[in-house]
Structure 1
Amino acid sequence: MPANLGGWTGLILLLVVILLFAAPKLPQLARSLGQSMTIFKKEIKASKDGDAPAESAADPAPTAEGTDSSTSK
């Protein structure tokens, strides 16, 4: 059993484990990160321009409780 798992060896081992067990979640994670960066850049640009922060398209509109027709009872 190798006693030295620090440095590059540990990093490579960690990368392999992440790829093996988290591979199905990686595209979703990358998409989410990209959307977050886009929103962040828009907010930075809006604050530099002196405008009020723009509402995000990702935020759903508030709904009154009990008026959602998509849920079935």
Structure 2
Amino acid sequence: MANIGVPGLILILLLALIVFGPAKLPQLGRAVGQTLREFKNSTKGAVDEVTEEFMLEEEPSPVKKNLK
């Protein structure tokens, strides 16, 4: 899958044009773009939450500072 290349990409686009038709391709592209955008935003939110929790665990607590 990593080495599709230009000829393979052209073949895939031609098959999509035949299967979906020229009227549906813009709608299909828009739907795919929205799906990818939502996926990116949700994963970014999850990564931000995990990073924030990790940073909170890394901060020394005031009780530990006073004991040393």
TM range (shorter): 0.3 to 0.5
Q: So what's the TM-score if we normalise by structure 2?
A: 0.44
TM-score, normalising length: structure 1: 0.41
Relative to total residues, which structure has the larger helix share, 1 or 2? 2
Larger radius of gyration: 2
